[in-house]
Structures are given as structure tokens and as C-alpha cells.
């Protein structure tokens, strides 16, 4: 069975000057995951590693550098799945975990599938994962963006709890990239989430033919506190099943949940589509059925690559047997 690994750094509208950094961030994550596979590691280990690298890169909307809620907090979600056992683990709405994918991996090994908020954080400490201060997850760029978007002054410190509910309308979700509201500026991350998207993810096939998939996100910009998107939802943000393949989604999560799009993409494989055709058909369904936007990455059960998006960009990188270095694109 050929090894394969693909990662994404989120779909959305990215400033052209950010393309190189986004490609490089994905390439770095793909290399890290690939090393795990080449050393005989499992697909789960490779996915966890690749996503951890993306979470640690402040330029992506996951882990450190995620977008903030309307009240200025980083609330993170992540999920991971083993295609051999169909075990899955996910966490949602956590504020004190630097690498949510690593806690999701531990949930996968527990009797549970999805833990939220304080319960997920106490599970993390019980599992030996230290909590961080919430402010450690907030980058200056995301904080400044939140301040601009909500029209706050400079007298707010990172980590402050600020009630700006009345200012929610200040962000124009339909605004064009490059404009002040709902858009990116020069100091913003590689994936500034100008069109509500975010998320990082990975899919891998290991030497035993086991498929694993996962995703991690800060969610969507200007989300209500407590809002959970597709990323920690099995079948929507990620799915893996040996023989069929694995999928990781990125985009406006509500629409991916409505369609259970990650699983639907694998249904196309089950019906005879190639990896690339399945990815394309899933995105066409997203557009046609619910008018959603975003993208997804996919490996079929043999490690063949597919990816598609209906948003302007989706940072991604992949490497399969026979390649010396990952291919990276946006
Ligand atoms: N796809 C990330 C989210 O909607 O939260």
C-alpha cells in the first residue's frame, strides 16, 4: 500500500501576497506528517502531527492565531478519525488548549466521541495535557483585527472579556476583501478568513492501508460565543473509512453540517467516482444544494489525491510515494 498525505490550510479569500507563506506553511506540515509515515508511523500519528504543525503556525485559523468570537475569545474545535476502527474523537469550544487536535486524539482513544468546553479542558488535564492561558492563543494580528472589526479602541488587553454584542453589525460579512470591514489588511494572517472560512486539516494513508483524517479550527470570524461549526462534527468536517478514503473540510461550517459533506464525498467514491471527481462533486453539491462555500481535501483508499474548492483559494500540500517533496498550492 502506498503512503500518502494531504493537508489544507483553509479555504477563503486570501491576499495574493500571502500565497507564498500559506504554501510554505502547508508544505512544512506535509513534510512533518510525511516523516511520521516514512518512519513507520500510523496514519493517525501523521494526521495529528501535520495538524499540530498547522495549529502552531500563527498564520492559520487554528490553534494559535484562530479568529475571535464576538466577545474577543479564541474558542477552538478539532476532530480526528481512524478509518480502520471508525473511532473518532473531537473537542469543541475550548479556550485553553494550544493543540486541540492532540486532545481530540485522546478523546478518540476514550469511550467518548465529542467533548465540549470546560469538560474537554478537564479531560485534557486528566490526559496529561497542560492548559495554556487563553491569551496565548490570541495573536496580535487577530486581536487587532477583532478590534478594527468591532470598532473598539486600544484600551483593551488581550484576554479581556469585552461585551461587544451590540456591535455585531459592525462587521460586514459580505464586504469585499481589501475593504475595512470583514476583510484582511497587511498585518493579518495568511488565511485572514475574510469570507468566514478557516480551518486546517490533514488526511493520510499509512503502510497498512489505514486511512485517517482530521481538522482543527478557530471557527468563523464574528462567531457567537459557543457557536460550533463542522470541524468537530464527524461526517461534516472530517471522515475516514478504510477502503473508501478520508476527507477534511474547510469552509462555512453550517453548510457542511447540513450536508454531512465529508461523508458525502466518500459516498461518491463508493459509487465509483475517482478521488478527484468525488471532491469536485461534493463541492458542486455544496454550491447547488445550500449555496455554501469552502473546499475539501481527499485521499481515496489507495492514497489517490483529490481536492476541490468553490472559494477563491484553498492552501494545500500533498505528497505520495514517488515524490521527493510535497506539491503545494493555493
Ligand atoms: N469550517 C470551520 C467552521 O465553520 O467553523
199 is catalytic: yes
Q: What domain range includes position 43? A: 4-329
Q: How far apart are CA 149 and CA 181, in angstroms?
A: 6
Q: What is the pLDDT of residues 143-199, one digit of tens each?
A: 888 888 744 432 333 333 333 222 222 222 222 333 222 323 333 333 334 433 569
- The answer to whether the beta carbons of residues 76 and 63 sit under 8 Å apart is yes
Residue 261 has pLDDT above 60, yes or no: yes
Say which residues have a Cβ less than 8 Å from residue 323's Cβ, sequence separation at least 6: none
For ligand 1, whether the C-beta of 248 sits within 6 Å is: no
Residue that has been written with the C-alpha cell 473511532 in this structure? 87
Q: What is the pLDDT of residues 13-32, one digit of tens each?
A: 888 999 999 999 999 999 99
For ligand 1, whether the C-beta of 273 sits within 6 Å is: no
Mean pLDDT of the chain: 87
Q: Note the pLDDT of residue 178.
A: 30
Per-residue b or e along 16-54, where b marks 16 or more CB atoms closer than 10 Å to that residue's CB: eebbebbbbbbbbbbbbbbebbeeebbbbbbbbbbbbbb
Atom of ligand 1 nearest to the CA of 251: 1
Q: Of 64, 69, 70, 199, which one is the catalytic site residue?
A: 199
Q: Note the pLDDT of residue 167.
A: 26
Atom of ligand 1 nearest to the CA of 223: 5
pTM above 0.85, yes or no: yes
CATH classification at residue 280: 3.60.20.30
> How are beta strands 88-94 and 114-116 bridged, if at all?
parallel
Atom of ligand 1 nearest to the CA of 217: 2
Torsion of CA 266, 272, 277, 278, to 10 degrees: -10
For ligand 1, whether the C-beta of 198 sits within 6 Å is: yes
Q: Which of 90-99, 134-143, 225-234, 243-252 has the lowest mean pLDDT?
A: 134-143
The grid coordinates of residue 35 equal: 516523516
CA of 39 to the centre of ligand 1 (A): 32
- The answer to whether the beta carbons of residues 92 and 77 sit under 8 Å apart is yes
Q: Mark out the alpha helices in the chain (DSSP H runs).
A: 19-38, 43-56, 100-108, 117-126, 140-150, 253-259, 261-270, 275-285
Beta bridge partners of 201: 8, 215
Q: Note the pLDDT of residue 148.
A: 83
Q: For the chain, what is the domain count?
A: 1
Beta bridge partners of 317: 7, 328
Which residue is closest in CA terms to ligand 1's atom 4?
253
For ligand 1, whether the C-beta of 313 sits within 6 Å is: no
For ligand 1, whether the C-beta of 33 sits within 6 Å is: no
- Number of helical (H) and strand (E) elements in the chain, helices listed first: 8, 12
> How are beta strands 305-309 and 238-241 bridged, if at all?
unpaired
Amino acid at each position: 500500500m502506498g503512503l500518502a498525505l494531504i493537508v489544507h490550510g483553509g479555504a477563503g479569500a486570501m491576499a495574493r501576497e500571502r500565497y507564498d507563506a500559506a504554501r510554505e506553511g502547508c508544505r512544512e506540515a506535509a513534510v512533518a506528517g510525511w516523516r511520521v509515515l516514512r518512519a513507520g508511523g500510523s496514519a493517525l500519528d501523521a494526521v495529528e502531527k501535520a495538524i499540530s504543525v498547522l495549529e502552531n503556525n500563527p498564520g492559520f485559523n487554528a490553534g494559535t492565531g484562530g479568529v475571535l468570537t464576538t466577545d474577543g475569545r479564541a474558542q477552538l474545535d478539532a476532530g480526528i478519525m481512524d478509518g480502520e476502527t471508525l473511532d473518532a474523537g473531537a473537542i469543541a469550544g475550548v479556550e485553553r488548549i494550544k493543540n486541540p487536535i492532540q486532545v481530540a486524539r485522546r478523546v478518540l482513544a476514550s469511550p467518548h466521541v465529542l467533548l465540549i468546553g470546560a469538560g474537554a479542558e478537564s479531560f485534557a488535564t486528566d490526559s496529561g495535557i497542560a492548559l495554556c492561558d487563553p491569551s496565548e492563543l490570541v495573536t496580535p494580528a487577530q486581536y487587532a483585527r477583532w478590534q478594527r472589526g468591532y470598532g473598539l479602541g486600544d484600551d483593551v488587553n488581550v484576554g479581556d472579556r469585552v461585551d461587544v454584542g451590540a456591535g455585531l453589525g459592525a462587521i460586514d460579512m459580505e464586504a469585499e476583501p481589501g475593504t475595512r470591514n470583514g476583510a484582511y489588511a497587511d498585518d493579518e494572517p495568511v488565511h485572514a478568513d475574510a469570507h468566514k472560512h478557516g480551518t486546517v486539516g490533514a488526511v493520510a494513508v499509512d503502510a497498512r492501508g489505514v486511512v485517517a483524517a482530521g481538522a482543527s479550527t478557530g471557527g468563523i470570524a464574528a462567531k457567537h460565543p459557543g457557536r460550533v461549526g463542522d470541524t468537530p462534527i464527524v461526517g461534516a468536517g472530517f471522515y475516514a473509512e478504510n477502503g473508501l478514503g478520508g476527507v477534511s473540510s474547510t469552509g462555512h461550517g453550517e453548510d457542511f453540517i447540513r450536508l454531512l459533506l465529508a461523508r458525502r464525498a466518500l459516498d461518491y467514491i463508493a459509487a465509483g467516482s475517482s478521488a478527484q471527481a468525488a471532491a469536485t462533486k461534493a463541492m458542486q453539491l455544496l454550491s447547488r444544494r445550500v449555496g455554501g462555500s469552502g473546499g475539501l481535501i481527499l485521499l481515496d483508499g489507495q492514497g489517490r489525491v483529490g481536492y476541490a474548492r468553490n472559494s477563491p483559494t484553498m492552501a494545500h500540500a500533498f505528497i505520495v510515494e514517488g515524490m521527493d517533496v510535497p506539491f503545494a498550492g493555493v
